[in-house]
Amino acid sequence: MYPTWEVPALTAGGVIGLIAAFHILPSHLSVSAMWFNVFLENRAYRQNRPELIEYIKKYTRTLLIFSYVLGSLTGVGIWFSATVASPRGISGLIHTYVWAWATEWVFFVIEVIGIFVYYYTFGKVDRRTHLRIGIVFAVASWVTMIIIVGILAFMLTPGKFNETGSFFDGFFNPTYFPQLFTRTGFMFAISATFAMAVASRLKDEETREEITRLAAKWGIAGLLVGSVMLVPWAATLPAATAYKAGLAGLVPGTVLYGSVAVAVLMLVYFVWALRTPGAITTATAVLAIFILFTGILGGERIREMLRKPYVIAGYMYSNQVIAHGVASRGVEPEVEAMSRDGFLKHVALVPPALQPISDGNRVAVGRFLAEQQCSACHALGDTGLRPLARMVRRLRLADVERTDGYLTGLGHYDFMPSFVGNDAERHALAAYLVELGKGATALAAKH
């Protein structure tokens, strides 16, 4: 086990969550925007409409800056934040899917060269050549989605991977195709929302309304396709996971219904834009992007919740302990060995002050264990994501003996791994939790 990074309130996992949810906007924009561009550029040439080309240039510049500054850097940001939030998780994925990422990278190269060539050759090459560049970009861009969805879907439904250890069995897993088509639908809703924001800056009213209406149509179609594809996606989820989708308060109602509400709201927005395109101002369009983002945040949160207690379903718990081995790759499960030898034996850098466990350092060891085993999902303080102190108080775990009993039975929850470690370590964690429940001040005094 690697050292941990503690982020007050937000948790390190929350940092990935925010960066990853944000990344969806520029990345999905990048994958879909050029289809819209090529469609419009083709119309501009056929009908000889230079004003449309002016718009396409603007939209391309938005794409260039938004997707290739924020998009590529938040993409790298997911890796960096995953590195410090769940190093063993990202390492497990990389050691399985390194060639998938490398393959995706080839298409990134085509994308980045493509977007610059497209942007800088407006009026510098003949029209059909310019259109071809757009098509090369658009197709290559969709390929990056074809690839990354394999890894994302694997994390939720590894399919036959655990039996066979085969790359393609894990990659083309049960939720692969439904998720690919869901994202493909929703990406058009995202690029339509951006297209309308860019169009709102156009001075010429007629062009503005024409583009807004076109974008609204794409948006409606994308939203419908994406939503319909959620049905087969949900149907392919394993029973235990599907059950969790509606599980008592696990996915908070605000998140579940909020995401649905955003989808409905976006549909209303597109229909409104289709009927009265003149009414869409820049302010409205930017507000729509923000609303869309909250929906994405909700959707990503649900996807993450469905995966609990795993970070990689069927393989590794959220706290990075390997739950089930992959025999064909010689990977052993760790729960038993860690409970037998003591968890701390399996942690790389245990501070000297925490060894061996004694009356003097018990609470500090407990805190260290909480950082290792709980902090992936729980803030250790009073506030933030699923804060432990508040949970301890709500469950009224006020004495060490009972808290210890509680920890013994932890594995009974569907969404939480069991405590991993020996008796002395479990006592230490119990002692820490009891102190934590008493309040931050009591703990600070001891620390």
Partner 1 sequence: MESHVNEVLAALRDPMGVPLYPVVFQLLMVLTFALHILFVNFVVGGLLISLWGRFRRAERWQRLSATTARIATVSVSFAVLIGVAPLLFVQVIYDPFWYTSNLLSAAWVVGFVFLMIAAYSASYRYYLRHHRGAARTAFWGLIALAGFLLAGFVIHALNYQALLPDAWLGWASTEGGADTRGTTLHAWQWARYLHVILASPVLTGLLLVASAWYFRNRGDRDPEYLAWVAKLGLHLAFGFGVISVGTGLWWSAVIPGKLGFHADPFYLVAIVLGVALVGYLWAVRKDPLRHAVPAGVAGLVVVLAMAAARESLRSDYVGQFGYSIFDYPVNLDWGSTALFFLTFLWGFIAIGYLLTVAYRSGRAEGEVDLSGTGMRTFGNLAIASLVAWIGVVVGLGAYVTYQHVAPALAAPTDAAATAPAMGAGPATATAPAAATAPAAADHPKAVMCAGCHGADGNSPTPDNPTLAGQHREYLIVAIESYRDGRRTHAPMQALVSGLGGQDVVELAGLYCLQPVKPVGYAEKLPGDRNAAETHSCAGCHGNRGVSSSPRTPKLAALSGTYLTSALQAYREGTRTHGLMRALAAPRSDDEIAHLAAFYAVSAPRE
Question: Binding residue for partner 1 (CB under 8 A) from 48, 203, 206, 246?
Answer: 246
* Candidates 38-46, 77-85, 192-200, 219-227; binding stretch for partner 1 (CB under 8 A): 77-85
**Tokens found for residue 60:** 């391309």
Q: Write down the H helix ranges in 47-86.
A: 50-62, 72-85
Show the tokens assigned to 390: 């508040």
CB of 48 to partner 1, least distance (A): 16
| Angstrom distance (rounded) from CA 263 to CA 227 | 8
Distance CA 391, CA 385 (A): 11
Name the one range near partner 1 by CB under 8 A: 31-39, 198-206, 279-287, 402-410. Answer: 402-410
Out of 210, 404, 425, 435, which residue is the one contacting partner 1 (CB under 8 A)?
404
Residue 32 vs 81, nearer CB to partner 1: 81
For the bound state, the minimum distance from the C-beta of residue 289 to partner 1, rounded and expressed in Å, comes to: 17
Tell me the closest approach of the beta carbon of residue 118 to partner 1, in angstroms.
9
Candidates 136, 234, 265, 267: give the one binding partner 1 (CB under 8 A).
136
* Two tokens, residue 274: 């289709």
Which one, 28 or 244, has the nearer CB to partner 1?
244
Beta bridge partners of 322: 316
- In angstroms, what is the minimal distance from the CB of 77 to partner 1? 4
3-state secondary structure of 19: helix
321 near partner 1 (CB under 8 A): no
Question: Which distant-in-sequence residues (6+ apart) come within 8 Å of 19 by Cβ?
Answer: 74, 77, 78, 81
**Minimum CB distance to partner 1, residue 331 (Å):** 5
Q: Are 419 and 408 in contact (CB under 8 A)?
A: yes
Q: How far is the CB of 3 from partner 1 (least distance, A)?
A: 4
Q: CA-based diameter of the chain, in Å? A: 83
Count other C-beta atoms under 10 Å from residue 95's C-beta: 10
- Minimum CB separation of residue 273 from partner 1 in Å reads 29
Q: Which of residues 103-122 bind partner 1 (CB under 8 A)?
A: 103, 105-110, 112-114, 116-117, 120-121
**Binding range to partner 1, per CB under 8 A, among 29-37, 209-217, 287-295, 314-322:** 314-322
Omega before 8 within 30 of 0, i.e. cis: no
Give the whole-angstrom CA distance, residue 6 versus residue 123.
52
| Using rule CB under 8 A, residue 43 touches partner 1 | no
Per CB under 8 A, contacts with partner 1 among 335-354 are 346, 348-354
231 binds partner 1 (CB under 8 A): no
Token pair for 436: 């934590």
List the structure tokens of 233: 């996606």
